[in-house]
Structure 1
Amino acid sequence: MAELGVMMMMLKDQVAEQGMFAVLQRIKDMNINAVEVSQIPMSEENTADLERAIAELGMTVGALSVALKPGPTATGDNLEEHFDKIVSDCRRLGTTYVRIGMLPLAAMSSKAACESWAAECEAAAQRLAAEGITLCYHNHHVDLAQFDGERIFDIVRRVAPSVGFEVDLHWVQRGGMAPLDMLEQYTGVCRIIHVKDFRVKPLPQEAIDALDAGDRVTFDRMFKDIVEFAEVGQGNMNWPALLPAAEKAGADFFFIEQDDTYGRDPFDCIADSRAYLASIGY
């Protein structure tokens, strides 16, 4: 069974305020034993706290977030400038996956740009593989865009066969592809899964009032803006079918993630997601 964890991007403010180890203790107390580190500096202090959590709490650091090179979508260490540090961090923490959190904006603009970026990823992935580390990349809805009938996903798979996928099932759904179809078609390269739900909220009264007042622009904006990130089990995703399919597709980790908690304490959101996942056997 894939190991269940949490994407620590959700808790970056808490780490900054309370310290890494205190946050990891709270995660462990929710019966979650693995984490993926993103948008949190891999400073010596934070890395030492992760080591301590592995030794004292039995935590697993499933993946670290990296960028291919510096740029506007890069957060934290990048493989161009910090390769040796990234390898050292992985060895210290027993981590065998690093992940690129977002396709660079320039690589979204054309098929040639995407192919060029994917070729760079392939070179980086081969270099990491020699160190026993697998490079993955994480999708958003834009990765379902097509150039000449070929999805960005498919371009990356074709040009960079050494790169694994961190499949975010919410963004697959938002990109217009059935998540079960994605998992079936990408069996063998789905290494990590982001588990977050897709909620459609009720149409707010303000939208109806705007339409009644003749303000079609405001109504249209609010009507289109009713999709939310949701706690697992509080949206419309079919998790009892999706999670076994993800395991069949080769996933080693399921990371709970919610990009926006809409004012709720993220620990409460994680606890709700954890409780639901326990209720369906995870």
Structure 2
Amino acid sequence: MATNPLSLQMYTLRDLASVDYVGTLKKVKEIGYGAVEVAGVGSMGAAELRRELDAIGLIVSGAHVPIQALEGQLDTVLADMQTLGAPYLICPWMPPERRSSADDYRALARVLNGIGERVSRAGLTFCYHHHDFELHPFGDTTGLHILLHECDPRHVAFEIDVYWAAYAGVDPVQLIGEFAGRAPLVHLKDMAPGSRTFAEVGSGTLDIPAILNAARNASAQWFVVEQDVCQRPPLESVRMSYEYLRGLAM
């Protein structure tokens, strides 16, 4: 387990960060987070962002990088990850035309294995982050389980998203258990009662203590707070999630 296992996915604060990236990072640190999971570096290059992060006192737990860049610009991406000190490189999403059948997922596994091998050689860990659609069934399996079984465990790991698991009708605790040892990253979100919209961690219907326990038992390394859409000011939302989780002695 990381010394400070809580990180914040900066996508949550994308609107604020697009106006003032560094100022937003400072507010993240003021709340108490010790790490961020980045989704782009704004107008800065990796070296400039690293200098700002070091000055603020934040580390990068991982980075979401689109599949197009992973396939076409991996050397540049890896250089940026090394500069940022990011141990985890994450594929965050797959376009619909690449995930419509079981065969699509088998083909995707081959692509991820190739990327993952190069990432491993660079000394980093490559992860795949899922949404709900990877959990739609293909016979007696799902796209995500095809990836689990056909991706090389030496080179491809997973970032389990507990909200999207629940949205797909899958118990997040069970899913984390199925991916034990293969999911070093867990996205912590919550689901508002009734509406199934995104909610601050601890304010919704998901059993967060059970999820945390399952993730620890499954050897998760980082718990990453993310709220795709906030119903209140996003900084207030990420503060609420942080304070709830710290109240659980995290």
Report the TM-score range of the alignment, normalised by the length of the smaller protein: over 0.9
Question: Residues of 2 paired with 1:54 and 1:260: CA distance?
Answer: 25
Q: Which structure has the greater CA radius of gyration?
A: 1
Please say if residues 67 and 93 of structure 2, whose CA atoms lie closer than 8 Å, have aligned partners that are also in contact.
no
What SS does structure 2 have at the residue aligned with 1:116? Answer: helix
In structure 2, the residue matched to 1:31 is 32
Question: Residues of 2 paired with 1:94 and 1:252: CA distance?
Answer: 16
In structure 2, the residue matched to 1:16 is 18
Change (3 A) 1:127 1:103: same
> Structure 1: which 5+ residue stretches go unaligned?
70-77, 202-225
Read off the aligned partner of 2:88 and give its amino acid letter.
Y
Within a 5 Å distance, the mapping from 1:91-240 to structure 2 comes to 91-161=82-152, 162-201=155-194, 226-240=195-209
Question: Residues of 2 paired with 1:92 and 1:171: CA distance?
Answer: 31
What SS does structure 2 have at the residue aligned with 1:190? Answer: coil
Question: Residues of 1 paired with 2:9 and 2:75: CA distance?
Answer: 24
TM-score normalised by structure 2 residue count: 0.93
Question: Residues of 1 paired with 2:233 and 2:186: CA distance?
Answer: 23
Q: Deviations over 1:126-153 (max 9, x none)?
A: 1111111111111111111121211111
Q: Does 47-56 or 162-171 show the bigger shift?
A: 47-56
What SS does structure 1 have at the residue aligned with 2:211? Answer: helix
> Structure 2: which 5+ residue stretches go unaligned?
none
State the percentage of identical aligned residues: 30
Q: Deviations over 1:23-74 (max 9, x none)?
A: 1111010110111111x3465x2534431244223311111111232xxxxx
Please say if residues 158 and 183 of structure 2, whose CA atoms lie closer than 8 Å, have aligned partners that are also in contact.
yes
Question: Residues of 2 paired with 1:122 and 1:250: CA distance?
Answer: 22
Read off the aligned partner of 1:7 and give its amino acid letter.
Q
Change (3 A) 1:8 1:26: same
Read off the aligned partner of 2:65 and give its amino acid letter.
V
Question: Residues of 2 paired with 1:83 and 1:179: CA distance?
Answer: 31
Question: Residues of 2 paired with 1:11 and 1:260: CA distance?
Answer: 10
Say whether residues 1:271 and 2:239 are aligned partners: yes
In structure 1, the residue matched to 2:78 is 87
In structure 2, the residue matched to 1:257 is 226
Change (3 A) 1:102 1:265: same
What SS does structure 1 have at the residue aligned with 2:206? Answer: coil
Match of 2:7 among 2, 5, 8: 5
Please say if residues 114 and 156 of structure 1, whose CA atoms lie closer than 8 Å, have aligned partners that are also in contact.
yes
Change (3 A) 1:50 1:252: farther
Please say if residues 136 and 142 of structure 2, whose CA atoms lie closer than 8 Å, have aligned partners that are also in contact.
yes
Question: Residues of 2 paired with 1:46 and 1:15: CA distance?
Answer: 15
What SS does structure 1 have at the residue aligned with 2:191? Answer: strand
Runs of 4+ residues over 4 Å off in structure 1: none
TM-score normalised by structure 1 residue count: 0.83
Question: Residues of 2 paired with 1:102 and 1:90: CA distance?
Answer: 19
Within a 5 Å distance, the mapping from 1:49-68 to structure 2 comes to 49-68=48-67
